[in-house]
Amino acid sequence: MIISELIGRLHPLLVHLPIGIFTLLLIIEVLGSLKLFPNLEGSTKFILLSGIMAAVLSLLTGYILSLEGSNNQSQVDNHMWMAIATTIFYGIYFWWKSLIDSKPVLKWPVLAILLISLVVTGHQGGVLTHGEGFLQVSQRGEENKSWPAPVISEIEKANVYADMVQYTLNTKCVSCHGSEKQKGKLRLDDVKWIETGGKSGKTIDRNDPVSSELLKRILLEEIHDEHMPPKGKVQLTAFEKTILQWWIETGASFDKTVSETGPDSMITKSINAFKSSLSTTPITVKEREEVPAVKTSLLSELAAAGWGISAISGNSNYIRVTSYNLEIPMNQALEILKKAGNNIIDLKLSRKEVKDSDLSVIVTFRNLESLWLDNNDITDDGFRKLTDLNHLEYLNASATELSPAALQELTAIKTLRKVIAVNTRVNEADKQKFQMSAPDLKLVLPDSMHRFPSDTIFSVKAN
């Protein structure tokens, strides 16, 4: 990374300095004007000057960061000019402070202008970082944007790019690489931008398709830093990856139909799976009891603890939670998460040193439907606690100490439909007995997870 990029990326850190300093200044000015703490007024000029200096530094780093072109340019321009104006306002206040202080009738409107400009500038920065509506969990991100599903009546006549590839990119990639935001200077919402590529170069290499940047990123393991979509985002399905790989390796045509591109049996199977995934009938919304929205202050507390929060839809107060960024002990993190327990539908705790005792908190999340506990030191004692989850539909218990006896007890959860039990104490013989007693519950063991000969594996050289 070159020095200018490093300096630019200090902006999100440095920008909190002037915001904090100016906020402190306004508080002191109000308290002083009300004669509550008159002795504080002597420090205001020093605080004001410190804030202006920090604001100038933030402007410089922000400008350098804007050169990366990762965000909507009009939003960047609005934020930049508002930040400049705010800095000028505070500079004028510093210069004319003595005059303004001597006229109380003038001071309050001036303080109001300073506060409004600071709030507007901060909000615009938040929109650039988190997207429109970032203060409301039910409206955050473009993952929930409704993209019209293509209508595929005859598979052979379907346009591979327009009907399948672009729809996949829209639903899984455009939230970070579209018109509103372009991470890595990359847009994937139109043919023109796909051909142009981004900061890492061309998206597609027709001379060496396997080396295409898009293909490499989606086929990397999810734990890899360069894997796309990144951790915490909705991932591509196996059939979506297969179709994208087939499209790129056959020349990445934007015009050819399925029959013209020549699919083999495996590709045809993936295309059929893709078509089946498209809803051609009105969507039936799952009925859930209404719950209050998670308060903004609690969302901030959860984010500070390292929890990743996303909404399940734009009109629901239910949320999905991931633990990828946790840096505090699990028992402490769960106690914080418990405050939003009734809102949680999906909870991902893979590889996070979850213990049996932690499940005593998790079972209080009474609306939980999907739970990932894989690669944790959990025994039967812990799994038995899950029988109190009356809405649980999916459980990933891979690489745990789950036994056939505890698995059988989990059938008490009438809503449970799928259990992943790879690398547990449950074997194929146990599975056959289990499926006889619970035919509606799908149990996935290692033999159920097929690998196709054409699967691509990337190795990464260690530094």
- pLDDT one-digit tens code per residue, 95-110: 998 888 888 788 888 8
HEC string for the chain: CCHHHHHHCCHHHHCHHHHHHHHHHHHHHHHHHCCCCHHHHHHHHHHHHHHHHHHHHHHHHHHHHHCCCCECHHHHHHHHHHHHHHHHHHHHHHHCHHHHHCCHHHHHHHHHHHHHHHHHHHHHHHHHHHCCCCCCHHHCCCCCCCCCCCCCCCHHHCEHHHHHHHHHHHHHCCCCECCCEEHHHCCCCCHHHHHHCECCECCCCCCCHHHCHHHHHHHCCCCCCCCCCCCCCCCCCHHHHHHHHHHHHCCCCCCCEHHHHCCCHHHHHHHHHHHHHCCCCCCCCCCCCCCCCCCHHHHHHHHHHCCEEEECCCCCCCEEEECCCCCCCHHHHHHHHHHHHHHEEEEECCCCCCCHHHHHHHCCCCCCCEEECCCCCCCHHHHHHHHHCCCCCEEECCCCCCCHHHHHHHCCCCCCCEEECCCCCCCHHHHHHHHHHCCCCEEECHHHCCCCCCCCCCCCCCC
Q: For 352-373, how does the pLDDT look when each residue is reduced to its tens digit (9 = 90+)?
A: 899 999 999 999 999 999 999 9
Q: Max CA-CA distance within the chain?
A: 88
What's the pLDDT at 375? 93
Q: For 273-299, how does the pLDDT look when each residue is reduced to its tens digit (9 = 90+)?
A: 888 888 544 444 567 888 999 999 999
434 and 344 within one domain: yes
Residue among 457, 452, 445, 418 at smallest CA distance from 239 = 452
Residue 210 pLDDT grade (very low, low, confident, very high; cuts 50, 70, 90)? confident
325 and 422 within one domain: yes
Domain membership of residue 150 (yes or no) is: no
Burial 249-286 (b: 16+ CB within 10 A, else e): ebebeeebbbeebebeeebeebbeebbeeeeeeeeeee
Q: List, in sequence order, every residue forming a beta bridge with 371; answer none if it has no partner.
A: 347, 395
Domain membership of residue 329 (yes or no) is: yes
82 and 32 within one domain: yes
338 and 403 within one domain: yes
Domain membership of residue 283 (yes or no) is: no
How many angstroms separate the CA atoms of 368 and 382, rounded? 16
Residue among 162, 132, 128 at smallest CA distance from 148 = 162
Neighbouring residues of 21: CB distance < 8 A, sequence distance ≥ 6: 47, 50, 51, 54
304 and 197 within one domain: no
How many angstroms separate the CA atoms of 439 and 131, rounded? 44
User: Considering the chain, what is the average pLDDT of its residues?
Assistant: 82
210 and 116 within one domain: no
415 and 356 within one domain: yes
Domain membership of residue 406 (yes or no) is: yes
Residue 71 pLDDT grade (very low, low, confident, very high; cuts 50, 70, 90)? low
CATH number at residue 302: 3.80.10.10
Domain membership of residue 461 (yes or no) is: no
Tokens of 93: 């206040």
Domain membership of residue 86 (yes or no) is: yes
250 and 319 within one domain: no
Among 277, 305, 321, the domain-final residue is 277
Residue among 269, 227, 228, 271 at smallest CA distance from 247 = 271
Tokens of 91: 């500079």
How many angstroms separate the CA atoms of 284 and 296, rounded? 29
- 380 burial (CB, 10 Å; 0-12 / 13-18 / 19+) is middle
Whether the pLDDT of residue 406 is over 80: the answer is: yes
235 and 206 within one domain: yes
Residue 72 pLDDT grade (very low, low, confident, very high; cuts 50, 70, 90)? low
What's the pLDDT at 390? 93
Ramachandran angles phi, psi of 319, nearest 5°: -135, 160
Among 223, 249, 277, the domain-final residue is 277
Q: What residues make up the domain containing 53?
A: 3-130
Whether the pLDDT of residue 70 is over 60: the answer is: no
If one counts the domains in the chain, the total is: 3
Among 96, 130, 164, the domain-final residue is 130
Domain membership of residue 106 (yes or no) is: yes
- Mean pLDDT: which of 144-153, 170-179, 443-452 is highest? 170-179
Residue among 127, 179, 221, 153 at smallest CA distance from 456 = 221
Whether the pLDDT of residue 451 is over 60: the answer is: no
Domain membership of residue 245 (yes or no) is: yes
Which pairs with CB-CB distance under 8 Å and at least 24 residues apart come from 253-261? 253/160, 253/161, 254/161, 254/162, 254/191, 255/159, 255/161, 256/159, 256/160, 256/161, 257/156, 257/157, 257/158, 257/159, 257/160, 258/155, 258/156, 258/157, 258/158, 258/160, 259/156, 259/157, 261/160
431 and 305 within one domain: yes
What's the pLDDT at 132? 55
Q: What are the Cα distances from residue 235, in Å, to 112, 172, 261, 264?
A: 46, 7, 25, 25
Tokens of 409: 């007890």
272 and 352 within one domain: no
Q: For 316-342, how does the pLDDT look when each residue is reduced to its tens digit (9 = 90+)?
A: 899 989 987 888 999 999 999 999 999
Q: List, in sequence order, every residue forming a beta bridge with 395; answer none if it has no partner.
A: 371, 419
Whether the pLDDT of residue 405 is over 70: the answer is: yes
What's the pLDDT at 422? 92
84 and 9 within one domain: yes
Q: For 217-226, how does the pLDDT look when each residue is reduced to its tens digit (9 = 90+)?
A: 888 877 777 8
Residue that wins the pLDDT comparison between 408 and 197: 408
- 356 burial (CB, 10 Å; 0-12 / 13-18 / 19+) is middle
